[in-house]
Amino acid sequence: MVRNVQLPNRSAGVQLHPTSLPAGRLGDDAYRFVDWLVAAGQSWWQMLPLGPPDRARSPYKATSAFAAWRGLLADPGAAVSGEEIEEFRARESFWIGDWEAVAGGRRAAADQVRFDREWGALRAYAREHGIGLIGDVPIYVAPGSADHLAWPRLFRSGEVAGAPPDALSQTGQLWGNPLYDWPALQRRRYRWWTERLRRTFELFDVARIDHFRGLVAYWAVPEGASDARGGRWRRGPGRALFHAAALELDALPVIAEDLGVITEPVERLRRSLGFPGMVVMQFGFDPDDPHGPHRLENHEHNSVVYTGTHDNDTLRGWWESLPAPTRDAAGQQIAAAGVEEREPWWSVIRLAYSSPARLAMVQAQDVLGLGSEARMNIPGRATGSWRWQMAPGALTAEHAKRLRAATEEAGRA
């Protein structure tokens, strides 16, 4: 039996990766952001993956599924004792040796000790102030990562990860990540995944599993293909992975990222596990899709509503690029709900807050009313993404007051 930790009935939070803090790392800025969240009536801080990013700075292609990035450290030169390193190695024995072999032995372990020290202090501070932390688990590991090198028998050869052609791309998406050999993982009782989730819940109160649908069926593309059109669907592990993890872990506080073309088996798995899914306000105003799950009237209680995700444009950039019919449809919904503001992006924030969804998340860029220049990333584009940072003092007391008012009005404070 999988025990999921239910989110509060009505709460709200802000998504901001630590690299987008003014200093781009943990430290004073992170504590000030927690203070700002409290002033704004928020309950959650959501982040992207914390692993060492690739050359394009993408945290979704980290060189380890377990290790944290040294670049997040506020004090990378802090002293670490030999006893601390040995204690950490004993506690994280499943993965730390693999990471040391790739990243430089004792120094790499010392950095993880530093991170756990800084992170533990920040998490305790957040918890004392009523702020929960939400993390992100990419479904795949990066090619050539510590995990790929240390566990070659857990991955398939001859095929790589991707997504099939759809309305957004005639050639599909060729991600290139190694694909899991699910029978091999099953023979090992999914130990690698269980340990990965264990580490995740050591750091976060809740975690979003990216590309959840890939655990039911995934798109496998022949290695060396120029695009994803020649791929095929292959079966994933389904419930078995979560049942194996539940035998070892106390609970699985998971949000399922179920965006895209979601089939009935994917929906059935998510519901059977009790995991909340996701809806995105930017997808909810298509006049030709009145029955879509992202439309406000179709939102469900056991879900998380986002104004947009890291893959989307900012609300302001999105609004200013909308075709007239979609903008008119959005304006009609906003007027009908009585949440019109002088800035349309704030209207969408208030509309999201009115959703029956358990949790409502906004991006910091949308609270600030920033345009497309502040977009976190553009899917499929390797350069220019993952670089946005707030200016010092950008989130003001006035921003907090305005967001708190909207949060309280919606009963989410």
For the chain, domain boundaries: 1-46+277-413
The answer to whether 21 and 389 are in contact (CB under 8 A) is yes
Q: State yes or no: is 257 an active-site residue.
A: yes
Q: State yes or no: is 248 an active-site residue.
A: no
User: Catalytic residue among 227, 286, 311, 340, which?
Assistant: 311
The answer to whether 382 and 12 are in contact (CB under 8 A) is no
- Whether the model clears a pTM of 0.75, i.e. scores above it, the answer is yes
Q: Which amino acid is at 65?
A: A
The answer to whether 134 and 206 are in contact (CB under 8 A) is yes
Residue with tokens 């991006």: 363
User: Catalytic residue among 29, 195, 257, 366, which?
Assistant: 257
The answer to whether 50 and 68 are in contact (CB under 8 A) is yes
User: Catalytic residue among 111, 210, 258, 313, which?
Assistant: 210
Q: Which two tokens stand for residue 220?
A: 């496998």
Q: State yes or no: is 311 an active-site residue.
A: yes
Q: DSSP state, 67?
A: P
Residue 162's SS3 state is: strand
Q: Name the strands in the sheet holding 217-222, side by side, starting at the edge strand that comes first in the sequence.
A: 173-180, 155-163, 217-222, 232-235
Residue with tokens 């750091």: 203
Residue with tokens 């945290």: 59
pLDDT tens string, the chain, 413 residues long: the values are 566 667 888 999 999 999 999 999 999 999 999 999 999 999 999 999 999 999 889 999 999 999 999 999 999 999 999 999 999 999 999 999 999 999 988 899 999 999 999 999 999 999 999 999 999 999 999 999 999 999 999 999 999 999 898 766 788 889 999 999 999 999 999 999 999 999 999 999 999 999 999 999 999 999 999 999 999 999 999 999 999 999 999 889 999 999 887 899 999 999 999 999 999 999 999 888 888 999 999 999 999 999 999 999 999 999 999 999 899 989 999 999 999 999 999 999 999 999 999 999 999 999 999 999 999 988 777 678 899 999 999 999 999 999 999 999 999 99
Taking the C-alpha atoms of residue 287 and residue 289, their distance in angstroms, rounded to an integer, is: 6
